[in-house]
Amino acid sequence: MYNLLLHISPCPNDTFMFDAWINHRLNDGFGWNLQTYFYDIKTLNELAIKHIPDITKLSVFAASQVLSNYQILTSGAAIGYKNGPLIISKKPLTVNNISNVRLAVPGFNTTAYALLKFFFPQVRLCKEYFFNEIEDAILNHEVDAGLIIHETRFTFEKKGLFKIADLGEMWEKTYRLPLPLGVIAVKRSLPDDVKKSMNDLLRKSILYAFNEQASISNFVSTHAQIKDDDVIGQHIRLYVNEMSVELGKKGKRSIQVFFQQMIRASLIKKENIQYPVFV
């Protein structure tokens, strides 16, 4: 029996992918005891930097900082097209006049913030919020604009907010690759057979969710921040795809290019990238 500490977010893409594994819907033939905790992405990244979980969801940017202690599974990634962070505001702005605006971000250790600094290095007045607080921070005039991720991509327009820039589109146009946002990482110190078994179990769990669940499960809806089934469904369709089942060459390439470009922009250190990166 392996006792493992699992950290994931309550977001629908994570709970959708892990549902079958966590809730023992798989006949895996392996002894697992997952002690599962749910945190927002900012906290997930911080806890991994402290080397606390055995297996965890991470921002790709944060993963680059912990590769001496973790490796990336080839299953479970949030990676794809038209899925990137958005800069939004209450009044129309242009990308040419955002350098001096007060901007809410979902964590300085997130892929979203790294992309913001990569494409707009002149932005300097940033303040951390939990991702689900950013829309209200704008509406309450605490900040002038915000960098949004997750479910808030589907709700900001209904609240009268405007899109200023789509960082995912900017990435895709520049590199002709899908945008890697998040991954599942495991401790390097675990035995190789355990890491490979985790990779296989997660792949089976995702396939189970795709093939066996005709509707949103109670596990997914119970943990979701926004309880609207349409929003939950949009979230899953956007962030879970064939590269979540298995990264493949294109998925791995996108992560490698992300690391390379962040190194060139001095946003991560070259020596942080430890090999092998993937399980």
Helices (H), 185-266: 192-212, 218-223, 229-239, 242-245, 248-264
Residue 158 one-letter amino acid: K
Q: Would you kindly state where each structural domain of the chain is located, as residue ranges?
A: 2-80+179-272, 86-175
- Which helix (H) or strand (E) segment holds residue 33: the answer is strand 32-38
CATH number of 86-175: 3.40.190.10
Q: How many angstroms separate the CA atoms of 26 and 17, rounded?
A: 12
CA angle (246, 252, 254) in 5-degree steps: 120
- Average pLDDT by consecutive 10-residue portion of the chain (279 residues)? 90 95 80 89 96 97 97 97 94 83 95 97 94 95 95 91 95 96 97 94 95 83 89 92 97 98 96 96
Burial class (CB in 10 A: 0-12, 13-18, 19+), 208: middle
pLDDT at 121: 94
Identical topology for domains 2-80+179-272 and 86-175: yes
Residues tagged active-site: 150
2-80+179-272 folds as: D-Maltodextrin-Binding Protein; domain 2 (3.40.190)
The structure's pTM equals 0.93
